[in-house]
């Protein structure tokens, strides 16, 4: 499956959004790492300071309760208060708990009786030794509290990107679209240039990065226009200059052929006449092709194609008496105004009629039908092998499997002129009940706008 190419603006927006999200995530990860270390320092400092301030009070309270036989519990000043993260225990040299806070049990902490910090799976404990290392005070902080503080801080850092990234993508797209607007205008201008439009592109207010593209394209268009004009002029001038001497040679050869008496000489003369006639047809097609490529298709005034088709068919039948042509009009169709050049339309119809006569079945009539939507279809019956993909005959010098002589330019000329007239040519092969087939060429023209 071929993927649809993305636009330059879309690629820039996607790349910048991905990079923005990636850099923000890296920044948040680094911030969380630093924040975790700073939190540990702050919590450890508070834990140590709490233990040092608590030590004199706890020792004094311990000696006042020296008559107790079991571990004592310090009652809470505010029993209903929540979120009490610090707990403490007073232990003797044997490790027994002699005093503990109200939010902690009598089970000794897992930390050893050694002054300093100790970390377990759930607790961070700071130990102080007092009374000649006979009484140990251990203050514990919940590690879950520290992790909760870190996660809340990380979430606070991540929330802005979840809110600002979509806004940043929209803003980035607007900025990129505004920045690439000159590129789009230049692209559209270049895309309209083809064989029928080689006018230079207006420079406009282009950025310096692409300003030179316009001048380079204009120079290329100028050279291409000059080359195409030279090619067309050469073909037209050559064909025009050769018409007269070939016509003279053809006339002289016909006179000479009539004066010959020997059969073999007359046969050779007939071969020369056939070659000269074929060359004359090719020259005529070259002239038509040069006119087609010169852009003669459109006209400022509308032409009635129904009347023009009738005149062209009548003229064709006078030249080819043995060929029958039937003109069929759809009900209600009497006129067909289109803004096309009459000469260009005449070249199109004459080429199609000539092709139908040359390659069609001689005992079947040629049909010219005009539909209610203005589509003109020229059809003829054919026999023998024919390519089911009729569009292959649009190419120059492409001919079917036939012994008939042709230039191979007829449909190419028609296709080019239809393009000049802003119309379309559709070729199709239609199966019929008999052994033969029906070759159709449908011509469609844009409707006439009287405004």
Average pLDDT over residues 97-124: 82
Burial letters 434-448, b for 16+ CB under 10 A, else e: eebbbbbbbbbbeee
Burial letters 327-366, b for 16+ CB under 10 A, else e: eebeeeeeebbbbbbeebbbbbbbbbbbbbbebbeeebeb
What is 8-150's CATH number?
3.30.450
Residue 65: pLDDT band (50, 70, 90) is low
> Cα(336)–Cα(370) distance, rounded to whole angstroms?
9
Contact between 100 and 140 under an 8 Å Cβ cutoff? The reply is no
**For position 279, what pLDDT does the model report?**
77
> Cα(240)–Cα(176) distance, rounded to whole angstroms?
56
Pick the CATH number of 194-294 from 1.10.3470, 1.10.287, 1.10.10, 1.10.357: 1.10.287
Residue 295: pLDDT band (50, 70, 90) is low
> Cα(127)–Cα(1) distance, rounded to whole angstroms?
69
Q: Where along the chain do its domains lie? A: 8-150, 194-294, 296-444
What mean pLDDT is reported for the chain? 78
> Cα(286)–Cα(284) distance, rounded to whole angstroms?
5
Report whether pLDDT(288) > 70.
no
- Torsion angle of the four alpha carbons 62, 66, 68, 73, in this order, in degrees rounded to the nearest 10: 0
What is the DSSP annotation of 64-123?
HTTT-SS-EEEPPSSTT-----EEEEEEETT--EEEEETTS-SSPPSS-S-SEEEE-SSE
- Torsion angle of the four alpha carbons 356, 360, 363, 368, in this order, in degrees rounded to the nearest 10: -30
**For position 368, what pLDDT does the model report?**
92
What element of type H or E holds 370? strand 366-370
> Residues of the chain with pLDDT > 70: what percent?
79
Highest mean pLDDT range out of 41-45, 62-66, 67-71, 249-253? 41-45
Q: Name, in order, each residue with C-beta under 8 angstroms of 339's C-beta and a sequence gap of 6 or more.
A: 298, 299, 300, 301, 302, 303, 448
Question: Strand pairing partners for 123?
Answer: 142
Would you say domain 296-444 falls under CATH 3.90.1150.10?
Answer: no
**For position 98, what pLDDT does the model report?**
81
């Amino acid at each position: 499956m071929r993927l649809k190419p993305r636009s330059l603006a879309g690629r820039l927006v996607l790349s910048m959004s991905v990079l923005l999200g990636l850099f923000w995530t890296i920044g948040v990860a680094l911030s969380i790492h630093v924040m975790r270390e700073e939190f540990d320092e702050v919590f450890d400092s508070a834990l140590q300071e709490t233990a040092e301030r608590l030590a004199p009070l706890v020792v004094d309270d311990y000696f006042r309760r020296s008559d107790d036989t079991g571990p004592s519990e310090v009652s809470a000043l505010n029993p209903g208060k929540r979120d009490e993260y610090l707990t403490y225990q007073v232990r003797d040299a044997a490790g027994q708990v002699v005093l503990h806070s109200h939010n902690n049990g009598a089970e000794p902490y897992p930390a050893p009786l050694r002054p300093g910090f100790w970390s377990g799976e759930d607790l961070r404990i700071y130990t102080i030794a007092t009374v000649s290392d006979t009484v140990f005070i251990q203050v514990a902080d919940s590690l879950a509290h520290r992790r909760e503080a870190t996660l809340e801080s990380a979430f606070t850092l991540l929330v802005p990107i979840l809110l600002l990234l979509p806004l940043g993508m929209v803003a980035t797209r607007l900025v990129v679209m505004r920045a690439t607007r000159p590129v789009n205008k230049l692209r559209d201008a270049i895309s309209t240039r083809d064989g029928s439009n080689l006018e230079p592109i207006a420079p406009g207010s282009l950025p310096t990065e692409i300003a030179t593209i316009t001048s380079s394209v204009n120079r290329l268009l100028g050279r291409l226009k000059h080359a195409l004009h030279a090619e067309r002029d050469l073909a037209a001038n050559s064909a025009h200059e050769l018409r007269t001497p070939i016509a003279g040679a053809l006339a002289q050869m016909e006179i000479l052929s009539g004066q010959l008496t020997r059969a073999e000489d007359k046969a050779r003369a007939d071969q020369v006449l056939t070659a000269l006639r074929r060359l004359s047809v090719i020259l005529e097609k070259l002239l038509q092709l040069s006119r087609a490529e010169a852009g003669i298709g459109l006209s400022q005034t509308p032409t009635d194609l129904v009347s023009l088709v009738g005149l062209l068919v009548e003229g064709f039948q006078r030249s080819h008496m043995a060929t029958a042509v039937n003109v069929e009009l759809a009900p209600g169709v009497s006129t067909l105004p289109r803004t096309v050049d009459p000469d260009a339309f005449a070249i199109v119809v004459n080429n199609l009629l000539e092709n139908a006569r040359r390659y069609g079945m001689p005992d079947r009539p040629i049909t010219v039908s005009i539909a209610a939507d203005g589509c003109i279809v020229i059809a003829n019956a054919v026999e023998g092998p024919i390519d089911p993909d009729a569009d292959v005959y649009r190419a120059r010098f492409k001919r079917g499997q036939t012994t008939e002589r042709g230039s191979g330019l007829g449909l190419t000329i028609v296709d080019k002129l239809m393009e000049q007239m802003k119309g379309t040519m559709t070729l199709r092969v239609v199966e019929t009940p008999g052994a033969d087939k029906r070759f159709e060429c449908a011509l469609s023209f844009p409707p006439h706008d009287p405004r």
